[in-house]
Structure 1
């Protein structure tokens, strides 16, 4: 059984190596939710994720023979970088198995710490099976991303840092994937203060741990699909479920849309680059999945390694949802001056055109017509309504998309 002393010992091993990440108050969120809300910003950790804590503690505790033999892991990102960093620090060889479709930026990030990367399999489960087989055949230490006592103890150091800074925190809100992070945090926090409330947050597209928590028995997800790829875990580990059942008070879920809203909020309001898995704790607060009124709470922002393509998509959708961008398809007569007449409306409404495409070949068009697809920068819902009214008054047929 992992104890508070194990976690305190892990904290000593991590000192002077990893970053003691900021614990910052979230003033806007605090005011909106009538609570005192803090963010533990482990997205600012050296490798961009809390995973470094557990991986480093694990490698630090290996004897010389096991270190010299090398370490092995299967990961699509954060655990891979954490283990690669730890292996480089201790001078041992790390071999990381990653799915073939892993983005190049993540592969490059792992290799930058000197690890050997093996791209294999169509998904994580296939890469995992290959990694376990390789480790066994070559007598190397396999480092599991969450189902490992030393890894869990390393993750629990986050709770010690939070409570060392603010000892009267009433509630910790923690992302859940495989359960290693929340297990370590919950053991540490409850051992120090049994009255502290521990809330876990899963993604709606990967809620095996929530269903297992409610059923009090392991229930694996039939499928996993979420933008929070760092917590997209299908199978529930019985040992971790037992810890969560003992130490965690509740488990809630957030949708991908709610997670995307939190990513954009953290980027705009707190200047924090946060991945989906790291943002679910804030999403739970923003969308009232947790009762925190008049409480002092801390949301664990666990990682910031978001793919830039995903970030671009989230920003685009966020701008549309907040009425700061407007996409229109307008039907014009295909004749000189028609497009100028349309753009004059946008000029009179002070709407900036950021993109425009012209199509006269669509089968949906009558002869002599054209479709113009336009993206506009707008200043809110009232501004968009003004644009729509002006288009109607001038007789334009259009559709907002």
Structure 2
């Protein structure tokens, strides 16, 4: 997935009109722990606590220009995509319906409702919620916002353009990026091309939702059950074809991390940086910890992609439960 320089610069203007660039910090304790120089990109510092907001902003800016007749949108989510859609649609004065699976994060649900979203609960996982959103879109003639789309990726790429531009004199040897449906990874790949750096990209998926890892190894789409209890933002069982194409072309590797490894990474991020990470947000660090011997003495990047974890879940993780 390629973008012209003008497309990236336009995305930066759209995103930065709504929020400032997020920071990237080199945390001494993290670097000491991994035996490498470690830079964390803090997408947990956006107005909705996750990187997805960037894609929503560019998607809705384009929608307003190209389809001004749209007044009501619908989408499905486990939380961060829904907050992105709610945030951006509110800026454009659009009504928003979001479908979530039963048992979804209470605090993510509350955050979406605070953005004016009408929440519908359906099904036991993201795939079931997405299928129901498609039915409602058809029935009620609503514009359906996909979870992966070129315009979403264009916005997400701005996070990694910020990251690579800030480190242009010493670009990281590797960047670990969590994969849910793949917009984050695709955005990182687009930014790498835009900035002209040779940083290797390693995708990180849940060991309890291995569709993209299995597909990467098979070089074709492979479905897999999604049973992760902690990394809900990575609970994908069906790869998106366009996303998989990017991963097959651009990834150095795709690795898996268990819920236990994710929990440990959440604890490490809190102890070493005093940042809160949700499960998917800590997955990149979990991957880096798993591969620390490979990258010892090098410069590593991790995407702290979000911090939207329910308080009781985070308390349990910190307590080792």
TM-score, scaled to structure 1: 0.75
Runs of 5+ consecutive residues of structure 1 not aligned to the other structure: 319-401
Q: 1:4 to 1:169 in 2, by over 3 A?
A: farther
Equivalent of residue 244 in structure 1, options 227, 244, 247: 247
Cα offset for 1:107? 2.0
Cα offset for 1:37? 0.8
User: Match for residue 119 of structure 2?
Assistant: 117
Task: Indicate the SS of the match to 1:97.
Answer: strand
Task: Indicate the SS of the match to 2:228.
Answer: coil
User: Match for residue 273 of structure 2?
Assistant: 270
RMSD over equivalenced CA pairs, Å: 1.8
Q: 1:312-355: CA deviations, max 9, x gaps?
A: 2212217xxxxxxxxxxxxxxxxxxxxxxxxxxxxxxxxxxxxx
User: Match for residue 103 of structure 2?
Assistant: 101
Mapping of residues 249-264 of structure 1, within 5 Å: 249-264=252-267
Task: Indicate the SS of the match to 1:62.
Answer: helix
Q: Are the equivalent residues in 2 in contact too, given 1:48–1:304 (CA < 8 A)?
A: yes
Q: Distance in 1 between matches of 2:278 and 2:44?
A: 8
Mapping of residues 2-401 of structure 1, within 5 Å: 2-5=2-5, 6-63=7-64, 65-66=67-68, 68-145=70-147, 147-167=148-168, 168-170=170-172, 171-193=174-196, 195-288=198-291, 291-317=294-320
Q: Distance in 1 between matches of 2:2 and 2:189?
A: 11
Q: Distance in 2 between matches of 1:302 and 1:92?
A: 26
Q: Are the equivalent residues in 2 in contact too, given 1:4–1:187 (CA < 8 A)?
A: no
Cα offset for 1:4? 4.5
Q: How many residue pairs end up in the alignment? A: 317
Q: Are the equivalent residues in 1 in contact too, given 2:210–2:226 (CA < 8 A)?
A: no
Q: Are the equivalent residues in 2 in contact too, given 1:253–1:284 (CA < 8 A)?
A: yes
Task: Indicate the SS of the match to 1:3.
Answer: coil
Q: Distance in 1 between matches of 2:40 and 2:100?
A: 31
Q: Are the equivalent residues in 2 in contact too, given 1:51–1:79 (CA < 8 A)?
A: yes
Based on CA coordinates, which of the two structures has the bigger radius of gyration?
1
Q: Distance in 2 between matches of 1:242 and 1:143?
A: 21
Q: Distance in 2 between matches of 1:109 and 1:153?
A: 24
Answer with 156-165 or 223-232: which moved more.
223-232
Task: Indicate the SS of the match to 2:177.
Answer: strand
Q: Distance in 2 between matches of 1:312 and 1:228?
A: 15
TM-score, scaled to structure 2: 0.93
